[in-house]
Structure 1
Amino acid sequence: MSENRVSIRSRLDQAGLWLSGLCLLHCLAGIGLIWVLGLGSHVLLDPDWHRYGLALAMIIAGIAIGWGAIKHRRAMPFVIAMTGLTFMGGALAVPHGPKEIVLTVIGVSLVAIGHFLNMRANHLNRLR
């Protein structure tokens, strides 16, 4: 049973890392397509993408990293990920443009780092 829980936590952290990567790809591809081709701005810059992405990130990070912090008793992954979610939320409060992109990229990167550190702490905890 305990091994099953570990694999669920690990899968959630992996999903969080994938989502962070997809978010970064979305940001960079959106900038590139709009800048180079002038295409897709109505779809790629739709604020709903960011709202849904933040909601999904909050759910996955909250479960995976919160659960991990309870198990391995390390606060750093939680603090880093929550700081990242705060940056992502801040990106929703500014108009579309460079500030939003910078806040989103910083936030997504911090959430990814939090997931990575959580996976590492869970692995080290299993070795004990």
Structure 2
Amino acid sequence: MTALVSSPAYRWIEQRFDNMAIGLSGLCVVHCIASSIFLALAASAGGLLLNPLFHEIGLTIAIGFGVIALGRGIFTHGYMMPAVVGSAGLGMMAGAISLPHDVNGLETVWTLIGVATLALGHDLNRRAAA
């Protein structure tokens, strides 16, 4: 198992998961900002992007990437901090889903804070693996 973990191919795949997760976090930021702009400009376009099912599926994908990338990091480099930071971000994102959509933008603010925290966890994970 040690030979597999230290192989160049494994390291390449390992870094790609964190990069994809950071990219997914960036797409989430773009989605949140675009949803707010669309909602302000046209209620019908914003309604599609603000569908709760869209957010629940996105959170499920983020949790999947978090479990794979951050969990793998614990076994690879042995540091818990990236997983703890990433889990805190996922928790903030999950908590934001429970907030009402139209209350002073709190859902968007908490989602963005959670996404940034999750991206930080993935960045810490990527740096620890290097």
**TM-score normalised to the size of structure 1?**
0.90
1:113 equivalent in alignment to 2:120: yes
Q: CA deviation at 1:36?
A: 3.1
Q: Say if 2:80 is the partner of 1:85.
A: no
Please list every run of 5 or more consecutive structure 2 residues that lacks an aligned counterpart in the other structure: none
SS at 2:79 equivalent: coil
User: What is the RMSD computed on CA atoms of the aligned residues?
Assistant: 1.2
Deviations 1:24-81 (A, max 9, x none): 0000011112213445122111111110111001111111111011211111111110
TM-score (norm 2): 0.89
Bigger mean CA deviation after superposition, 1-10 or 73-82: 1-10
User: Which amino acid is the alignment partner of residue 79 of structure 1?
Assistant: V
Q: Structure 1 residue 68 and structure 2 residue 47: aligned?
A: no
Query: Segments of 4+ in structure 1 off by > 4 A?
Result: none
Q: Given residue 92 of structure 1, which amino acid in structure 2 is its aligned partner?
A: I
Secondary structure (helix, strand or coil) at the match of 1:96 reads coil
1:43 aligns with one of 24, 29, 48: 48
What is the alpha-carbon distance in structure 2 between the residues aligned to residue 39 and residue 25 of structure 1? Answer: 19
- Counterpart in the other structure of 1:54: 59
- Matching residue of 1:102: 109
Q: Kindly provide the amino acid, as one letter, of the partner of residue 97 in structure 2.
A: L
Residue equivalent to 1:7: 12
SS of equivalent to 2:122: helix
Distance 2:81 2:41 in 1: 40
For structure 1, list consecutive stretches of 5 or more residues without a partner in the other structure: 124-128
% identical aligned pairs: 38
Q: Provide the aligned length of Structure 1 versus Structure 2.
A: 123
